[in-house]
Amino acid sequence: MTPIMIGDTDILGVVDVQPTFMPGGELPVAGGDAVVPVINRLLAGPFRHAFATQDWHPPGHISFASAHGRAPFTEITLPYGPQTLWPDHALQGSPNAALHPGLDQARIETIVRKGFHPAIDSYSTFFENDHATTTGLDGWLRNRGFRRLFLAGLATDFCVAWSAEDAARLGYETYVIEDACRGIGLPTPDGRTTMDAARERLRAAGVRVISTADLG
Ligand code: VGL
Ligand code: ZN
């Protein structure tokens, strides 16, 4: 494959690189901390523009299993659809909800917080989980003239995948940089995992899954 050359209408989206999603955090993703140096190299090299997303929940958030007296990693149905329940995580203002202190923020031009509405979760950085409430990021990207979106961060099968699907639907040429991401991998009812399901949905949405080695 010829290397993908990065220019001024390309932007790197750094998804939920927060200690709450790393070993020792409240909702740890296996190897989640390993994305930090990989993303820092992307930010020091090819990408001149980046944005970051930050999961940012109030206490008692509707995505918390504890708010429903249920076990984490089970699923319930909410007015906007199915919702996986999680351990309490990404609590607004807590140290583990900050962007990881080792992340190089020099080229991060805006930070999109999501999941702050008490009664709705937001995996995607474009739309909350009702697929209708916007975060405003699409307007920001369009106004700045960005055409191609490259996503990295946590978790591959939730916030990265949902963001990538929405980006493709909104008309951006969308890439997921797989070795700059780590996933959660919950079992699905059909005996697969959320990683398999996400990969299939990304392919169907026309998202290109690449690795850092593909970048020129
Ligand atoms: C995420 C589950 C709950 C993510 C956020 O960043 O992928 N996953 N909140
Ligand atoms: Zn969350």
Q: What is the pLDDT of residue 1?
A: 72
User: How many other C-beta atoms lie within 10 A of the C-beta of residue 128?
Assistant: 19
Q: What is the pLDDT of residue 101?
A: 98
Question: Can you list the domains of the chain with their CATH numbers?
Answer: 10-61+88-214 (3.40.50.850)
User: How many other C-beta atoms lie within 10 A of the C-beta of residue 77?
Assistant: 8
Nearest CA to ligand 1 atom 1: 159
Q: What is the pLDDT of residue 121?
A: 97
- Residue percentage of the chain with pLDDT more than 70: 100
Per-residue pLDDT at 34 exceeds 90: yes
Cα distance between residue 8 and residue 200, in whole Å:
30
Give me the residue label for tokens 């927060």.
18
Per the DSSP assignment, residues forming a β-bridge with 91 are: 57
Nearest CA to ligand 1 atom 2: 158
* Active-site option among 10, 33, 55, 114: 114
Tokens of 74: 């089970």
Element (H, E) at 199: helix 194-205
Assess whether 181 carries a catalytic annotation: no
Say how many Å lie between the CA of residue 2 and the centre of ligand 1: 33
pLDDT band at 63 (very low <50, low <70, confident <90, very high): very high
Assess whether 159 carries a catalytic annotation: yes
